[in-house]
Amino acid sequence: MMKTKALCFGSLNIDYVYEVEHIVRPGETLDTKRPGVFAGGKGLNQSVALAKAGVCTAHAGKIGPDGAFLRELLERAGVDTSSVAVGADSATGHAIIQVDPAGQNSILLFGGANREITDTEIEEALAGCGEGDILLLQNELNATEALIRAGHRRGMFVAFNCAPFSEEAKSYPYELVDCLFVNETEGAGLSGRTEPGEILDALARLCPGIVVLTLGTRGAMAAYRGQTYAAPAFPVRAVDTTGAGDTYTGYFLAAFAEDGDISRAMRLAAAASALEVTRPGAAASIPAREEAERFLRGMA
Ligand code: RIB
């Protein structure tokens, strides 16, 4: 069983969030309501989720001088930020997020400093990591493949959330990944299939580790060593679904690291992400472990 110590090497973004009547259409100019500025980035969100779920978490990544508040938020969540570099001439990554009345979102990304990760920064961040430590990655950095390989070389438990999907992601070394997270879009992009069962089967052939396929309000499925798992989503009134997948990822890993029980990890992750979507913003709305456990007890 792996130790519960994690390094999340991932993106840090400033999220500019706009409430809209509908997601803007081509050629359309749309008025927005209630603009908000939040801490985000799939990496930052997943670090917060891991830490709130009880994992001893360090974050590595890069920001510009304008992103200091992102590092402070991580620190307040109990995350070690000594491997978050500040590029003097870099611009912090940002996201422009539209949220519709049903809480669905649409995201435009500017990678900025997230896409300036160097080999030296990877070596330094991983220097203190070893056998069984979790390395959690997403697909918003320029160095995903190098990180998968570096984590595997050190014997780390490599978890990869393939979000957002990119064509490049098709050629990553999935044989080195211990836990792969995808949603339906990412799963379809990677597998070339559209039906969830077929996506899962195809990804299980690609990746020998645990494969988790999240399906939004339809719950999630997983596959590992020839066994398949399914867990429903909990019905809630969604306000903003931004960060739901990140919350799921962090909570799943935290629970799985405790006892290796995939079904239990899926239930706790579903509870945490159900709570997360009932509040606006990404990192700021990730629930504490106690709240997620209480919600789960209420659902029993
Ligand atoms: O998963 C949600 C995140 O995606 C947002 O916080 C945004 O920054 C983008 O990275």
Q: 44: Cβ below 6 Å to ligand 1? A: no
Query: What type of residue sits at position 227?
Result: Q
Indicate which residue's Cα is closest to atom 10 of ligand 1.
41
For residue 1, the model assigns a pLDDT of: 41
Please state which of the ranges 22-36, 70-84, 174-188 shows the lowest mean pLDDT: 22-36
Q: 189: Cβ below 6 Å to ligand 1? A: no
Please report which confidence band the pLDDT of residue 300 belongs to, taking 50, 70 and 90 as the band edges. Answer: confident
Residues 6+ positions from 146 with CB-CB distance below 8 Å: 119, 122
Report how far Cα 136 is from the mean position of its chain's Cα atoms.
Answer: 8
Beta bridge partner(s), residue 250: none
Please state, for a pLDDT cut of 90, what percent of the chain lies above it. Answer: 95
Q: Which of 8, 70, 107 to mutate to test the pocket of ligand 1 (most atoms within 8 A of CB)?
A: 107
For residue 152, the model assigns a pLDDT of: 98
Please state, for a pLDDT cut of 70, what percent of the chain lies above it. Answer: 99
For residue 2, the model assigns a pLDDT of: 43
Cα separation, 299 vs 16, whole angstroms: 34
Total-model pTM: 0.96
Indicate which residue's Cα is closest to atom 1 of ligand 1.
243
Indicate which residue's Cα is closest to atom 6 of ligand 1.
40
Cα separation, 3 vs 56, whole angstroms: 10
Q: 243: Cβ below 6 Å to ligand 1? A: yes
Sheet with 5-9: strands ordered across: 80-86, 56-63, 5-9, 134-137, 157-161, 179-183, 210-214, 220-224, 227-231
Is 108 buried (19+), middle (13-18) or exposed (0-12) by CB count in 10 A?
exposed
42 CA → ligand 1 middle, Å: 5
Residue 67 and residue 12 in contact, taking contact as beta carbons nearer than 8 Å: yes
pLDDT greater than 60 at residue 55: yes
Please report which confidence band the pLDDT of residue 33 belongs to, taking 50, 70 and 90 as the band edges. Answer: confident
Residues 6+ positions from 160 with CB-CB distance below 8 Å: 136, 137, 138, 139, 144, 148, 172, 177, 179, 180, 181
Cα separation, 72 vs 70, whole angstroms: 5
| Buried b / exposed e along 216-249 (16+ C-beta atoms within 10 A) | beebbbbbbeeeebbbebbebebbbbbbbbbbbb
Q: 92: Cβ below 6 Å to ligand 1? A: no
Q: What digits encode the pLDDT tens for the residues 167-196?
A: 999 999 999 999 999 999 999 999 999 999
Q: What is the mean pLDDT of residues 86-115?
A: 95
Give CA separation, 130 vs 85, 210, 252, 259, in Å: 21, 20, 21, 20
Cα separation, 245 vs 122, whole angstroms: 25
More confident residue, 281 or 25: 25
**DSSP 8-state class, residue 137:** E
| Buried b / exposed e along 77-106 (16+ C-beta atoms within 10 A) | bebbbebbbeeeebbbbbbebbbeeebebe
Cα separation, 222 vs 225, whole angstroms: 10
Cα separation, 246 vs 284, whole angstroms: 12
Residue ranges of alpha helices (H) inside 77-163 are 119-126, 144-153
pLDDT greater than 50 at residue 88: yes
Q: Please state, rounded to an integer, the average pLDDT across all residues of the chain.
A: 96
Q: What is the mean pLDDT of residues 254-280?
A: 97
For residue 23, the model assigns a pLDDT of: 96
Which is it for the CA torsion 117, 132, 276, 194, positive or negative? Answer: positive
Please report which confidence band the pLDDT of residue 34 belongs to, taking 50, 70 and 90 as the band edges. Answer: confident
Q: What is the mean pLDDT of residues 234-263?
A: 96
